[in-house]
């Protein structure tokens, strides 16, 4: 039996973790059988190949830890649900990836809930039990953490490993921390910034850094075995972050994260509590908080140099933000009533939106029913419905088409209109298009659920579909339905 004092700690932490998991499970089937998140197909392909024993990812835009872990989970899942018949599962995956996507998304949701528990432990270690419970509660309803835990992507796994590494550092388990740092960097490369707080290990720093390097290369062996591809992919990713036309992102990235991303995920009251917690730590001169703060600040500084902005880039630092918010709230418990309700509302809104049908599903059904067999269809680079390539001829949109069908989404044409200097060619093509044959609207109007950037929390209107606006055009004398 646990002592009463421990029950008062572990019991609430367990309840918060379960609540976090329950927030992350609804809506996992969003968009299926389409893969509407642009990063999921590659992660899924590497995971299924790993489950089949093919470990070379042939893709190094991010690390292999989460795909390998997902492959192990898929293998275990087939042992239970498919009586060990992986070939039958693989054949189904080739026809319909829905079941495999659900398995990997469920893995991400579990890691998201696990990160909540670890954040509670980190907060307890650095600021006491009240800080730990409040930190866990904050991350449990953090809108960004809830949203991204629904995705079969590397971001939530990176956050889990980052907070695990910081917890090991807080306990001065430096070799364990080094191994976790290597795994975090082997999931998403910017997590290599965790080596900075490893330097607080003093004389054990070389050993901790060696453990980090060992864990990285053991978990990503093809970085060395296929170094040329790794080097090429890494250079391409770096170019995407630094070489995009400056007209496309005229605002400073740090301003976006400070005034848009963090207030959306944490709410303005939460951001105020974060500042208050930071001020309290400075006043106390708490050196124990320094490694976590250093990682969060270094992450913020790094992504502020990118020309592209995405909320998920900051996700690994959100457990640290939760700890500082918990520290601030521990001095003003009544402020919990100001901080948590907006975050709960935003997270519940995300779940409600994810449970709705997607405009790309509805548009895909219309295209299947109305496009004559043998038609030529040009699809935008992303975020559009999937059409049957055996019925119609499919090609990527080149923005010089004069015949056939064209399918576009608001994610692209809104971006073009917002940054005309960077997308003159695309805008000239759009200006010459006829009236769309069909248009499919999602929630909220014109600014639908955006997987790459953010979900605006707030009241939902009466339409029962979410996703980007989809427009279907028929050019020239193309036969119609």
Summarize pLDDT for 437-477 with one digit per residue, the tens.
988 877 643 333 333 333 333 333 334 567 788 889 998 76
Q: Which range has the worst mean pLDDT, 9-23, 189-203, 420-434? A: 420-434
Within 10 A of 342 (CB to CB), how many other CB atoms are there?
18
> What local confidence, expressed as pLDDT, does residue 108 receive?
97
Task: Indicate the pLDDT class of residue 251, thresholds 50, 70 and 90.
Answer: low
Mean pLDDT, rounded, for 84-99: 92
Cis previous bond, 33, omega within 30: yes
Question: Does the structure show a pLDDT above 90 at 111?
Answer: yes
What the block records as the tokens of 120 is 């509670």
Mean pLDDT for the chain overall:
86
Query: Looking up tokens 């901790």, which residue turns up?
Result: 208
Integer Cα distance of 17 and 25 in angstroms: 13
Whether 455 and 147 have beta carbons less than 8 Å apart is answered as yes
Query: pLDDT value at position 403?
Result: 80
pLDDT tens string 388-433: 778 888 888 888 888 889 998 887 887 787 777 778 888 899 888 8
Provide the pLDDT confidence category of residue 142 given band limits of 50, 70 and 90: very high
How much is the pLDDT for 461?
36
pLDDT of residue 459: 36
Please report, for residues 5, 168, 366, the alpha-carbon distance to residue 286 in angstroms, rounded to integers and kept in the order given. 25, 18, 60
pLDDT attached to residue 246: 43
Instruction: Say which residue, 459 or 383, is predicted with more confidence.
Output: 383
Tokens of 321: 């933000």
- Contact criterion met (CB below 8 Å) for 386 and 364: yes
Average pLDDT for 334-350 = 92
Across residues 81-102, what is the average pLDDT?
92
Q: How confident is the model at residue 34 (pLDDT cuts 50, 70, 90)?
A: confident
Least confident window among 137-141, 255-259, 464-468: 464-468
Whose CA is closest to 330, among 286, 372, 365, 361? Answer: 286
């Amino acid at each position: 039996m646990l002592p009463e004092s421990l029950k008062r700690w572990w019991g609430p932490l367990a309840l918060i973790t379960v609540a976090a998991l329950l927030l992350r499970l609804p809506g996992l089937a969003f968009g299926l059988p389409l893969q509407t998140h642009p990063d999921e197909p590659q992660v899924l392909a590497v995971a299924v190949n790993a489950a089949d024993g093919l470990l070379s990812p042939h893709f190094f835009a991010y690390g292999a830890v989460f795909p390998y872990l997902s492959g192990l989970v898929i293998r275990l899942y087939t042992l239970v649900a498919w009586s060990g018949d992986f070939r039958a599962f693989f054949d189904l995956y080739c026809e319909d990836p829905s079941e495999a996507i659900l398995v990997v998304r469920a893995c991400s949701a579990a890691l998201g809930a696990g990160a909540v528990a670890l954040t509670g432990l980190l907060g307890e270690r650095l600021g006491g039990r009240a800080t730990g419970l409040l930190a866990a509660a904050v991350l449990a309803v953090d809108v960004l953490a809830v949203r991204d835990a629904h995705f079969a992507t590397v971001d939530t796994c990176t956050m889990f490993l980052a907070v695990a590494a910081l917890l090991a550092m807080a306990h001065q388990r430096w070799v364990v921390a080094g191994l976790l740092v290597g795994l975090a960097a082997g999931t998403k490369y910017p997590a290599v910034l965790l080596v900075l707080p490893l330097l607080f290990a003093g004389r054990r720093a070389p050993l901790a850094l060696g453990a980090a390097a060992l864990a990285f290369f053991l978990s990503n062996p093809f970085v060395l075995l296929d170094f040329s591809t790794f080097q090429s992919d890494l250079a391409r990713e770096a170019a995407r972050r630094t070489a995009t036309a400056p007209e496309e992102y005229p605002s400073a990235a740090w301003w976006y994260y400070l005034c848009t991303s963090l207030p959306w995920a944490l709410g303005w009251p939460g951001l105020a509590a974060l500042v208050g917690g930071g001020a309290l730590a400075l006043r106390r001169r708490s050196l124990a908080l320094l490694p976590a703060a250093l990682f969060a600040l270094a992450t913020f500084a790094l992504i502020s140099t990118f020309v592209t902005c995405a909320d998920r880039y900051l996700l690994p630092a959100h457990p640290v933000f939760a700890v500082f918010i918990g520290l601030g709230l521990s001095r003003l418990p009544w402020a919990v009533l100001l901080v948590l309700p907006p975050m709960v509302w935003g997270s519940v809104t995300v779940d409600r939106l994810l449970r709705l049908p997607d405009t790309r599903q509805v548009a895909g059904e219309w295209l299947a029913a109305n496009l004559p067999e043998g038609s030529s269809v040009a699809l935008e680079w992303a975020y559009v419905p999937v059409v049957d390539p055996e019925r119609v001829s499919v090609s990527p949109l080149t923005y010089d088409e004069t015949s056939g069908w064209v399918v576009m989404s608001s994610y692209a044409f809104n971006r073009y209109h917002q940054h005309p200097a960077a997308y003159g060619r695309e805008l000239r093509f759009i200006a010459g298009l006829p009236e769309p044959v069909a248009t499919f609207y999602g929630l909220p109007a014109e600014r639908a659920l955006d997987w790459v950037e953010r979900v605006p929390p707030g009241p939902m209107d009466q339409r029962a579909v979410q996703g980007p606006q989809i427009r279907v055009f028929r050019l020239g004398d193309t036969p119609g339905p």
